[in-house]
Amino acid sequence: MIDRTNPVPVQTGSPVFAFTLNGEPVAVTAPPSRRLLDVLRHDLLLTGTKIGCEIGRCGACMVLLDGKPVNACLTMLYQVEGRRVTTIEGIAGGKDALHGVQRAFLEEGGYQCGYCTPGMIVSAAALLAERPDPTDEEIIEALSGNLCRCTGYGGILRAVRRAAAIGREADG
């Protein structure tokens, strides 16, 4: 094993972390262990990512890291260095655009108070990117880390099924 004697401290002076956020390069100066949730909401003023339980259980802060859903409350800034972060603000890929999942949530009434909705949409979009035509079982599994405490899951399930159908129409 190589015996290096100069380990790299990630934090020296005021560290800058570069990553891709919603398709754009960003550089953030903050402590390396700052939560991605705080970086997004407080430092970058992207408040679509919600604060809920802060222990990875509710899914309100779901974002995509290299296309895969992760909880922003569990993720630290240094862990996203050089990687691709997508938030609800960037999920549709354009300012006024709507992702198929967003359209479907509107059409099917997949929300009531709306607080869990960004997280739900991020998880559902990740599922459909990987499995465009999921079974109900796969939808339930993909949303198992997202809690809703008001509208119930019926409308949400309908919305994801509808989003899959929108995807099929767009493809075919």
Partner 1 sequence: MAMKEQAPGRCPEVWRPRDAAEACRLKTAFGPDGVFTAGGTLLRTQWESGSAAMPGTLIDLTAIPGLAGIRADEGQLVIGPLVKLSELMRTEAVATAFPLLAEAVRRIGAPSVRNLATIGGNVASAVGDALPALLVHEAELLWHTGGRTETTALEDWLADPGRAQGVRLLTGIRLKRTDAEAPGGPPGRIVGAYRKLGRREAFTPSLVTIAVLGRLSEDGTLTGVRMAAGGGSAVPMRLRAAETVLEGARVTPDALVRVSEAVLAEYRPASDAFAGAEYRRTAAANLIAAEWLRLAGAGREGDGR
**Residues near ligand FAD, by CB under 6 A:** 55-57, 74
Least separation in angstroms between residue 95's CB and partner 1 is 26
Which residues from 110-129 bind partner 1, rule CB under 8 A?
A: 123
Query: Which of residues 70, 104, 148, 159 is near partner 1 by CB under 8 A?
Result: 70
Verify binding: residue 38, partner 1, rule CB under 8 A: yes
Which residues are CB-neighbours of 39 under 8 A, at least 6 positions away? 28, 30, 77
Q: Which residues contact 138 (CB under 8 A, 6 or more apart)?
A: 127, 131
Whole-angstrom distance, CA of residue 106 vs CA of residue 111: 8
Q: Is 145 in the site for partner 1 (CB under 8 A)?
A: yes
Tokens of 97: 């655009």
Shortest reach from residue 145's CB to ligand FAD, in Å: 7
Closer residue to partner 1 in complex, CB, 96/137: 137
Interface with partner 1, residue 76, by CB under 8 A? yes
Cα gap 73→97, rounded to integer Å: 27
Among partner 1, ligand FAD, none, the one that 33 touches (CB under a kind-dependent 5 to 8 A) is: partner 1
- What is the SS3 assignment for 10-25? CCCCCCEEEEEECCEE
Nearer to partner 1, 82 or 94 (CB): 82
First to last CA, the chain: 54
* Residues in contact with 20: Cβ distance below 8 Å, sequence separation at least 6, in sequence order: 26, 83, 84, 85
Closest residue to bound ligand FAD by CB: 56
Please give the residue ranges that form the binding site for partner 1 (CB under 8 A): 1-5, 7-11, 31-35, 38, 42, 54-57, 59, 62, 65, 68-71, 73-76, 78-79, 123, 141-142, 144-146
